[in-house]
Amino acid sequence: MDANPKVVSLKRARPQASDATLQLVETLRRQVVDTLRERLNVMFEGADDLLFEFAERATNNLDRRLFFDTMRAVRMGRKNMSDQFSAIYIASFSQPSAAMPSQLPGGDQELSLQKDDALDLDIAVQNMATKAEGLYKALLWDIGGRLKTLIDEQHAPISAEALAPATICLAFRKAAETLDIGHDVELVVFKLFDRLVISKLADLYTRVLNFLKLQGVRSSAVVIGNRGIGAGLPGDSSSEPSAASAAPQNFANTPSPASPHQEFRAPTGLAASLMTASSFDAQTLASLQRFGASSAAAGSADRLDYSTASLAADLAAASLGQPIAGWSPRQTTAYVQRANLVGHMFNEFLADPHLSSELRPQFDELRMATMKVALKDIAFVVDPDHPVRKLINELATLASTARVGGPVQLDRIADLVQQIQKQFEIAADALRKPSPEIELLGIEQAERFIEQQMAQTAARRASMVRKVRQIIAEELQLRTHGLTISDELRPLLNSLWAPMMAMHLVHRGPDSVEWRRGIDSLERLLAMLDPARADLRGEAQVSSLLALLDAEFKSVGLAESRVGPALQAFAAKLKTIAPAPASTPADATPSPADAATATAAEASGSPAELLELLVQPGAWFQVFDPDRNERRWMKAVAYYAGLDCAAFAEFNGGNTLLLKSRMLLDDLTARRTLPVDLNPTARAALDRYLARAA
């Protein structure tokens, strides 16, 4: 048939890469693969010594056997795994690798032994990629820009993510699947790869960058992202990661993924570039320019009203090389140094995919207030215990977990950020003329600041993991109270339902349709297990629930190899349930929902026990101050049961407020005093108390 003259093929005018570009890409691919294979060989050679060391330090035979099993698996599977890794990585070099739904942190200095759950493998992979993104941020930024030039201008057949840590980690994840080993052993293999390969990639990235420079490939300002791992769920337009990894097989007993002994190293060259650069990064500069826009019309530098907007405009201008009237070269250098570090700090905050969009503008505004603190006091940078610095990190942690607490908690934290900013606000005019001998920062001081903030980022992510696990675990505990869950049904709850609900909680929150639908599915499942509800175990009803669960689990990316067997085990279990003997209504077995309600009612506790749960040191409250007749944002100091009172203080420890227990309870009941970020246990206890008081 004759082609329609109005239809134009997209392939007809598609540009092709030149022979020189093809040769460049092939040389780059070969060098990268050879280097990675060398690092793998180093890992295999050093695995025995490292695993034997950990086996000797193990505190029980189970862990010791795990390390020896890993040693055996590495010895037997090294060649096959190396070949598989090379083949998979080569394939992904020209095509983006498939996304993996997880983005949660983990430690790299200890071999963490976790429960048997495939989702923990995703955690390990994401840990490696996330850590590498931080370690090699500056190098990856430069390499990413040059790859963009190759792709956009020279039409090179190479993926923009070819050199991303996520691509390398995902290739190893797939190669490790060829080993006939259990999940626990595979986790330890991943930790070896993390320690002996991922942590040693600086040389590879340096060689790649030098190669691209020698070939004359210029840079476009693009960062290699971690998109290969941690992509959003299907149908989710946001870039938020999946929280499947936040829900391991046993939520209540799984250790936190972050190690308290974890060490961090600032990305090579980052501190030096921040301390010697005369300009800010694009994100910080844009923020300052927005903030300073209101002062642009003021004109003269001798304006009487030197506001925060004026200071922001001067900082932005100074970073662009413009002279600022009244600023000495030393003051300009010191101010740009300190503002650069604070800008980097807030860029990391805003890069957190868990930070709610509602809170992002407030944190961007908080950047300027924090810069003023750093400009006035160098201790903000050099002292990790500086009260404002600790406060900012604490606010970032609260903000990152706000969504899982629901809209009420989100609103309270938004108000908290606004109020706290007012408490440490510094007048811009006080910063206009600092001491002539204002102290400059050294590269080592900047490196320590960056490393300490990296540790804070890891702690923030670990806090998210713990909170999600705790919420899901308590939901399961509450709703299955009084029921006997057989071993064959536990995978359905712990390895499928729990991870699915973790995804919904992180992505959508507890008020979402997806969360409520998941709770309804659990209620239907548990009701079918009730011997007295034979009417719910009809063939049509069971088939309907199985189809619903199958669709829900698969919609969030849970492995089909786990979904099918777990649902089959559930269906088989239903067939073994004998109908309960007829009974009077008074003797009827309560439904799971009724049992949960009864449990909640029985566990109301005493007022003293409630206050001990609520008034935890460091917990934030909107406390009603009867002397001022207003609410104040304060942190709990302690609950003194013997004195029958609770103590609160402002963020810097000052202006302490003591409240008698009865007064505090009355204010909680009347909603005059509001807690901000309660853990699920404390929240449930408070809700029960309020319900009983009503």
pLDDT tens digits along 192-241? 788 778 878 888 888 888 888 888 888 764 333 333 333 333 333 333 33
pLDDT value for 631 = 85
Query: pLDDT class for 302, splitting at 50, 70, 90?
Result: very low
Q: Which residue has the higher pLDDT, 156 or 14?
A: 156
Residue 622: which H helix or E strand, with range? strand 620-625
Which residue has better confidence, 50 or 624? 624
Tokens standing for residue 357: 């969009």
Q: What is the pLDDT of residue 338?
A: 92
> Is the model's pLDDT at 588 over the cut of 70?
no
Mean pLDDT throughout 259-273? 70
Q: What local confidence, expressed as pLDDT, does residue 339 receive?
A: 92
What gap in Å lies between CA 171 and CA 224, rounded to an integer? 17
Check residue 196 and give its pLDDT.
79
In order, the DSSP letters of 455-497 are HHHHHHHHHHHHHHHHHHHHHHHHHTTT----TTTHIIIIIII
Average pLDDT estimate for 62-68: 70
Over residues 320-330, mean pLDDT: 86
More confident: 279 or 124: 279
Distance CA 164, CA 406 (A): 34
pLDDT, average across residues 276-288 = 85
Lowest mean pLDDT among 26-35, 545-554, 645-654: 645-654
Mean pLDDT over the full length of the chain: 76
Average pLDDT over residues 437-461: 88
What pLDDT is recorded for position 107? 37
**Which domains are seen in the chain, by residue range?**
19-232 (no CATH), 272-296+306-460 (no CATH), 480-578+589-601 (no CATH), 603-693 (2.30.30.140)
The dihedrals phi and psi of 337, each to the nearest 5 degrees, come to -60, -55
**Is the pLDDT assigned to residue 73 strictly greater than 90?**
no
> Above 80 in pLDDT, residue 619?
yes
Residue 102: is its pLDDT beyond 60?
no
What are the pLDDT digits (tens) for 474-509? 788 878 876 777 777 888 888 889 888 888 888 778
Mean pLDDT of the 64-71 span: 71
The tokens describing 336, both together, are 């740009």
- pLDDT of 56 reads 65
User: For residue 263, what pLDDT band results from cuts at 50, 70 and 90?
Assistant: low
Answer whether residue 21 shows pLDDT above 50: yes
Helix 513-528, helix 539-555: angle, nearest 10: 140
Mean pLDDT (whole number) for 572-586: 70
| Residue 336 pLDDT > 60 | yes
The pLDDT value given to residue 97: 52
**More confident position, 303 or 652:** 652
- Report whether pLDDT(382) > 80: yes
In this structure, which amino acid lies at residue 119?
L
Give me the mean pLDDT over the 564-582 stretch. 82
Q: What angle do CA 15, 18, 19 make, to 5 degrees?
A: 145
Across the strands, what pairs with 634?
Answer: 621
Longest dimension (CA), the chain: 94
Question: Looking at residues 282-297, what average pLDDT do you find?
Answer: 77
Q: How confident is the model at residue 304 (pLDDT cuts 50, 70, 90)?
A: low
How far apart are the C-alpha atoms of 398 and 413, rounded to whole Å?
A: 7
Confidence of residue 52 (pLDDT cuts 50, 70, 90): low
pLDDT at 105 over 70: no
Residue 580: per-residue pLDDT: 64
**Span 138-153, mean pLDDT?**
84
pLDDT (0 to 100) of residue 641: 76
Please give the pLDDT value at position 239.
33
Residue 583 confidence (pLDDT): 53
Mean pLDDT of 558-587: 76
pLDDT for the residue numbered 179? 67
Does the structure show a pLDDT above 90 at 291? no
Least confident residue range of 63-72, 510-519, 544-553: 63-72
The lowest-confidence range among 247-251, 273-277, 340-344, 530-534 is 247-251
What per-residue confidence (pLDDT) applies to 605?
A: 56
pLDDT bucket at 371, cuts 50 / 70 / 90: very high
% pLDDT > 90, the chain: 5
Q: How buried is 389 (Cβ within 10 angstroms: 0-12 exposed, 13-18 middle, 19+ buried)? A: buried
- The band of 273, judged by pLDDT with boundaries at 50, 70 and 90, is confident
Tell me how far apart the alpha carbons of residues 275 and 334 are, in angstroms, rounded to a whole number. 9
On the CB side of 620, CA atoms within 13 Å amount to 20
Report helix, strand or coil for 93. Answer: helix
* Between 258 and 194, residue with greater pLDDT: 194
What value does the mean pLDDT take over residues 428-446?
85
Burial call 454-467: b when 16+ CB within 10 Å, e when fewer: bbbbbbbbbbbbbb
Question: Distance between CA atoms of 338 and 381, rounded to whole angstroms?
Answer: 8
pLDDT for 375 = 92
Q: What is the pLDDT of residue 300?
A: 42
Residue written as tokens 């250790």? 255
Q: Which of 123-127, 393-397, 436-440 has the lowest mean pLDDT?
A: 123-127
